[in-house]
Chain A
Amino acid sequence: MNTSSALFLSLSAACAGFALLRLSLKDAWKDVGFPNCRVSPGVCRIGAALLLFLSALVWVPAATSLTVGWMSWLFCTLGIAPIALVALWPFNPRMAAALPVLMLGLLALIAWIV
């Protein structure tokens, strides 16, 4: 996996993590059109933590060094990843939760193939 695809994949995983965190809040499943979903907030949060860990795990070794990877992940990736989710949620929650994850995943795939 090259640096570009690792970064996009890491951002995609972080987006998915933040989407799960958002879904752990009250009425969020209803907002995305699944009012009967029974996934508990605790499970969502554990899933979010695992996805964020995965995000770090993907990006950090792909950076020019481990320190560079950790610092850029901690200060930038984590801060940038949820912005699309938060900005889009009021307009279309389902799209906000899924679109950034899918788009970044697709970019990762393209970068990997190219």
Chain B
Amino acid sequence: MKETLRQSMGWLHTWCGLLFGWVLFGVLLTGTLAVFYTELNLWATPELQSPVDLDRAHAVEMGRDYLTREAPDAQQWRIVIPTDREPVLRLVFTDSDGKGTTHRLDPQTGVRIPRDMDAGFFFMRYHYTLGISRSDSQLGFLIVGAAGLAMLAAIISGIIIHKRIFRDFFVFRPRKSKQRAWMDAHNVLSVLPLPFHTMMAYTGLIILYYAYIPAAVDMLHAGDLKSYQRDAAMAEYVDVQTQPGPFAETAELMPLVARAEKEWGGEPAVNIYISHPNRANAAVEVWSQRDHRISNFPHRVAFDGVSGERLRTMTSRSAARDTQAFLAGLHFLEWGGGWVRWLYFFAGLASTAMVATAVVLFVAKREQRNALPRPLLPLIKAITVAAVAGNTIACIAYLLAERYYPAGIADRKSVLATVYFTVWLATLVHAGLRPYRKAWVEQISIAALLCLVLPFTSVVADVGLDRTLAVGDWIRAGVDLTAWASALVFAAAAWQISQRNKPASGGTVR
């Protein structure tokens, strides 16, 4: 045990920060990218037109016809109404075994899109599972939970050890010693957006509280998570486990959508769930969009699927559930529109940079003091380069692979995930073989080069900037322009590091 509280907290902040910092960087970077998950999905799907004039009634009718044709015996249909942000008609049907299948259609022509539209979802999944499927193993999920808890602990211990937190609010001294400059950068990036960091770490844990603190679920539901989730969602009356009744045509959907929108006060509906479609015991539940409210529990109105009689309106639940939904909604960011997403994106970048400066600072300090045994320091250096620069390269490589691999190849999701992890592993090997500073410069230069190339792949896919800017497709153009802006930042960073570390007398740089 250390002598004082501040020393103890300093030890916790340092080691907790380093060990989980390597994981946290990837988690925060992919989380920041996942702010624009729908936009990335669209960017990676050149077959879809954008922007388009959306006719919601036409899209819903087309979706229903398609599902009637393709999945007449499904237990449940879900029609996701296209929006300006996601101009695709998403249809999900669940079979009697509970397995869901998703098909996507062009909302104007009804042509099926031959892609999973998974680019953004990949980053989102990595953000909370490290890319390890939860059905295969809970490992990634639990590591991210531990990292979230460690981030919260690091934030609190960081506040305790920071003696002059308000006086140092504006202190940044890039021309002082290297260690001082990194420390200042870390402090500034930590202190200025402190409310954001704390909120995101805390709400990240709140979202999946039942998995990280499973005692209550175990006690009340004998460990049956699905039973708990059904209870929590209060959706027992649309339980798809019941047997389908005799044939009876489900009512027209758009009038039900209009009634639901009137019921909750006008916000547009985005989801339509139809349980036991075209059966006597059908139920239709309409969910609202969440642009205007933070809570991740949308307004819901349920109707009898045949008579159209209103069964239930749900605009709030218990205070505890509403509080949890509000906190989870703060993290999920399905609200606020484009500008709020950009605000979250920049704040997320600040979080990512905070972790990056922390792990770099750890190395700079130990290197100066010779505080670590010989074999350990090179290992930490290699992991640090790969965790920060390598992860960045892997993310860009993933997007390039999205463009490179054709839509129809077998098990495309796994192939693209393999690209991500292979590239990351290659950067780790590279960082292990190259001198520390050269590894930084080389990897950041590669990141700059890949970002520079990315928009040209859009040209090849016939959705280049010349075209997207001309038709006002700001979603795809935004991704390409952001890639170029990132290329500039990476190139400047690589140049800065190479200049700063140039040996005065031409000696070898380690």
Contacts and interface: CB of A to CB of B under 8 A. Distances in A.
A41 to B, nearest CB: 13
B170 A75 contact: no
Most chain A CB inside 10 Å of its own CB: which residue of B199, B292, B339: B339
B292 A71 contact: no
Interface stretch (A32-40, A50-58, A62-70, A98-106): A62-70
A86 B335 contact: no
A108 to B, nearest CB: 12
A65 B170 CA distance: 32
Nearest to B333: A72
B172 A90 contact: yes
B246 interface: no
A107 B347 CA distance: 20
Contacts of A76: 193, 196, 340, 343-344, 346-347
Interface residues of B, number: 29
Interface string B198-223: 01000000000000000000000000
User: Secondary structure at chain B's binding surface: helix, strand, loop or mixed?
Assistant: helix
B175 A90 contact: yes
B350 A67 contact: no
Given A71-B330, A79-B193, A87-B172, A64 B291 contact: yes
Contacts of B188: 83, 86-87
A75 B347 contact: yes
Interface in B171-188: 172-175, 188
B336 A79 contact: no
A43 to B, nearest CB: 18
Contacts of A91: 174
Contacts of A7: 339, 343
Most chain A CB inside 10 Å of its own CB: which residue of B173, B192, B346: B192
Contacts of A80: 192-193, 343, 346-347, 350
Given A68-B335, A72-B336, A89 B172 contact: yes
Interface string B112-153: 000000000000000000000000000000000000000000
Contact of A86 (B170, B340, B346): B170
Contact of B292 (A64, A72, A78, A89): A64
Contacts of A87: 172, 188
A44 interface: no
B194 interface: yes
B448 interface: no
Question: How many A residues touch the partner, as a band?
Answer: 20 to 34
Contacts of A90: 172-175
A3 to B, nearest CB: 6
Contacts of B28: none
A3 B339 contact: yes
B412 interface: no
A79 B195 contact: yes
Interface in B344-370: 344, 346-347, 350
Given A80-B347, A83-B350, A90-B172, A75 B195 contact: yes
Contacts of B173: 90
Interface of B: 169-170, 172-175, 188-189, 192-196, 199, 291-294, 330, 335-337, 339-340, 343-344, 346-347, 350
Interface of A: 3-4, 7, 21-22, 25, 63-65, 67-68, 71-72, 74-80, 82-83, 85-87, 89-91
Given A75-B199, A80-B192, A89-B172, 4 more contacts: A68-B293, A68-B294, A76-B196, A80-B350
Closest 5 interchain pairs by CB? A79-B193, A76-B343, A65-B292, A76-B347, A75-B196
